[in-house]
Structure 1
Amino acid sequence: MIVSVVSMPEGVVVRTDLQGARERLTASGFVIVDIDLGEEPPPDDDRPLSRRLGLDDEIWEWLGEQEEHTRADFHEGTAAGIVPVVCGDRIVYVQIHADEEHVITVHRGPVELIDTFVERLRHDRPVDSVTALYLILQGVLESFRRAVTAAHLEVEDLEEAMFEERQPQHAQALARLRRRAAHLHRAFLPYASVVQEILVRRRMTAHGIPEERRAMNTLHEHTVQLVLLEIESLRDATRRAAGSYASIVADQQNLVINRLTVVSMIFLPLSFLTGFFGMNFSFLTNRLSSEDSFLALGLGLQAASVVAALYYVLYRTHWRQLRESRSRDAADDRP
């Protein structure tokens, strides 16, 4: 377990234990406490982490438990909850408890958002715990926005690569991006719901909220909606890219079918003539007895059938379509 205590407004970070953190929390003054539980074994003290930190209210006994779902509570001027944070390819959950003088964050393993927040405290220096809480929550939103932006850019690069030359690994990358978008949506949607509920309930029940806190509430709500729209846009982009991939595959299959059609139209008459002249009946055996008659009928009919097939395939279809398309283009270019 790693316990970091930051005294504000100085921004001095001190490593201590739970007992030292409890002493700092019970003293007066603005203090931020970060607790990294890691993969520690069960403690000898079986009391909940909230009790060991001096938080005697039973409503916060879930603090420190290994929960993996989003929640938010607001009770007697104290806010607490579990928020999702994007860390690389993973979604981790950070537990936050904040009152008028203290902010406590609890997580398992290093979290880039919390590490960056603690490092910047000596420079940012929030004036109170509410501002510090909103800084953390804005960092949560920014982690999702960065992940969505990176995925969007990857989808665009993948679409360009597909149209240049389709590769089998493109389908795997598309499937991974669609799972990524679904994972982000599944993690962020509960957060957007509970945060909206808490902020609205707080505005309705808490009177006399300072104007700057109302502004932070409004900013956070708007950013939540913006991130939600960006995630939806990412999901639409992955669906569009998957549809483009399917269209490219269908076009390539159509080209293969067209080639097979051309080949079959050339060789089907030849196969018919070969089979016809291979039959043993009186007309062939009595009339086609000389070499000239065989060349005239056998090879002549086959050559005529090949010429007719090529004329129909090339002129009546491909060349005619190409000529009509050029005529349309020329008509469109005229003023």
Structure 2
Amino acid sequence: MTIEEVPEVVEDLVLEHASLLVNGTHTEHPTWVEIKAAMDSNQLMWLDCATPDQGDLERMVKLFGIDDEMLSDSADFNQRTRLSEYDSYVLLVAYGVAADARTMMEVHVYVMKNRVVTVRNGPCPPVELLHDRADKMMTPTTTVPAILSRILSVLVGTFADALDTVDEELTELETSILHDDPSTSQIEKLLDLRKRVNTFRRAVDPARDLVGAGRFVIIDALADVSEDARRHLRDLAVDLAHVGDQVESERDRLSAVMDIYMNQVNYRQNDIMKKLATVSTVFLPLMFITGFFGMNFAFLVRSVNSSMAFLILGIGLNLITIIGSLYVMKRRGWW
């Protein structure tokens, strides 16, 4: 369906959890009539919608002339980072990270001539903050690539913040591992951090490859790319490269901390075995002495028949053996 085939009459319903930015103005919860009027003005517009239902997606398909694939593309989140080309638009699936440095925020960006439509699976504060800058973003000289670059820039920025948080948590965990005994909670925390970093990597690497491969030239066919937009896209490529390097750095640190944890576990086990060996070494001669004198040889029965003999052989010899064993182990640094 093309734009010319869009019906003139649009339902006068409110699009909940949405924002319409056009001509430097920002409208919260616009009606479909307002959205259609913005389209008819042929001005640059950005429609940002969070958690649309099936009916909202069907109206977008009808109003914007988007292929029916949108119904499946944006009804099914948890997709990989990708860039898909269609006849009249380009779909970019991008990700950001929430303030908790854990939750992934998925954003589907539909890029058309003079129009940008973003569909989100939930709140996305960095994108929502752009709404308040409508007067600066939506100027007569603003182009579609400029809006796209700003949306992607704020999403990429969330990865840098999340990785800083992960780095701080990893530093605290490393200190805990070095100063405390190894525990199950430490390895659970370490595995959780590794899972989060790997999730970031799966979102960042494809985006970095897309920018590095120069596939954003597709946007040139949809709208003029201003020098300001080109600068933002170059900055975006640099930011993605830095974030990608930071992800790899955190993965290396995680591997190093995992090695430290395993070394601490081995050291702990060796220390326990050393203490057990020390106790065994002390008691080994005692067991020999008590076993020897516990045998009823005629010589022993006749010779050990006084209190003095008992004190010397039964107690004194054991004390001398214990003190001697401890002295030798201390001199050799065994304990």
Q: TM-score, normalised by structure 2?
A: 0.81
Mark the CA change 1:130 to 1:73 in structure 2 (over 3 Å): closer, same or farther: same
Partner of 1:314: 330
Equivalent runs, 1:274-313 vs 2, <5 Å: 274-313=290-329
1:205-224 Cα distance to aligned partner (Å, 9 max, x none): 99x96554443333222221
Partner of 1:13: 27
Partner of 1:66: 76
Q: Does 1:34 align with 2:25?
A: no
Q: Does 1:121 align with 2:134?
A: yes
Mark the CA change 1:56 to 1:267 in structure 2 (over 3 Å): closer, same or farther: closer
Q: Once superposed, what is the RMSD of the aligned Cα atoms?
A: 3.0
**More relative contact order, 1 or 2 (CA 8 Å, 6+ apart):** 2
Partner of 1:218: 234
Amino acid at match of 1:162: I
Mark the CA change 1:266 to 1:201 in structure 2 (over 3 Å): closer, same or farther: same
Instruction: State the alpha-carbon separation in 1 of the partners of residues 285 and 209 from structure 2.
Output: 69
Q: Does 1:81 align with 2:92?
A: yes
Is 1:86–1:147's contact at 8 Å kept on the other side of the alignment? yes
Mark the CA change 1:282 to 1:181 in structure 2 (over 3 Å): closer, same or farther: same
Equivalent in 245, 263, 267 of residue 247 of structure 1: 263
Is 1:49–1:63's contact at 8 Å kept on the other side of the alignment? no
**Structure 2: gaps (5+ residues):** 1-15
Partner of 1:270: 286
Mark the CA change 1:259 to 1:221 in structure 2 (over 3 Å): closer, same or farther: same
Per mean C-alpha deviation after superposition, the further-off stretch among 307-316 and 281-290 is: 281-290
Instruction: State the alpha-carbon separation in 2 of the partners of residues 289 and 55 from structure 1.
Output: 113
Is 1:22–1:52's contact at 8 Å kept on the other side of the alignment? no
Partner of 2:105: 92
Per mean C-alpha deviation after superposition, the further-off stretch among 223-232 and 183-192 is: 183-192
Is 1:2–1:17's contact at 8 Å kept on the other side of the alignment? no
Per mean C-alpha deviation after superposition, the further-off stretch among 11-20 and 100-109 is: 11-20
Q: 1:57 Cα deviation (Å)?
A: 5.1
Number of paired residues? 313
Q: 1:118 Cα deviation (Å)?
A: 1.3
SS at match of 2:84: strand
Q: 1:150 Cα deviation (Å)?
A: 0.7
Q: 1:147 Cα deviation (Å)?
A: 0.8
Amino acid at match of 1:231: V
Is 2:210–2:216's contact at 8 Å kept on the other side of the alignment? no
Mark the CA change 1:49 to 1:279 in structure 2 (over 3 Å): closer, same or farther: farther
Q: 1:253 Cα deviation (Å)?
A: 2.6
**Structure 1: gaps (5+ residues):** 320-335
Partner of 1:147: 162
Instruction: State the alpha-carbon separation in 2 of the partners of residues 247 and 37 from structure 1.
Output: 47
Mark the CA change 1:203 to 1:120 in structure 2 (over 3 Å): closer, same or farther: closer
Is 2:127–2:155's contact at 8 Å kept on the other side of the alignment? no
Q: 1:272 Cα deviation (Å)?
A: 1.2
Is 1:84–1:191's contact at 8 Å kept on the other side of the alignment? no
Instruction: State the alpha-carbon separation in 2 of the partners of residues 71 and 62 from structure 1.
Output: 15
Partner of 1:23: 37
Give me the identity figure in percent. Answer: 23
Q: 1:184 Cα deviation (Å)?
A: 1.4
Per mean C-alpha deviation after superposition, the further-off stretch among 51-60 and 148-157 is: 51-60
Instruction: State the alpha-carbon separation in 2 of the partners of residues 160 and 153 from structure 1.
Output: 11
Partner of 1:327: none
Partner of 2:12: none
Per mean C-alpha deviation after superposition, the further-off stretch among 233-242 and 164-173 is: 164-173
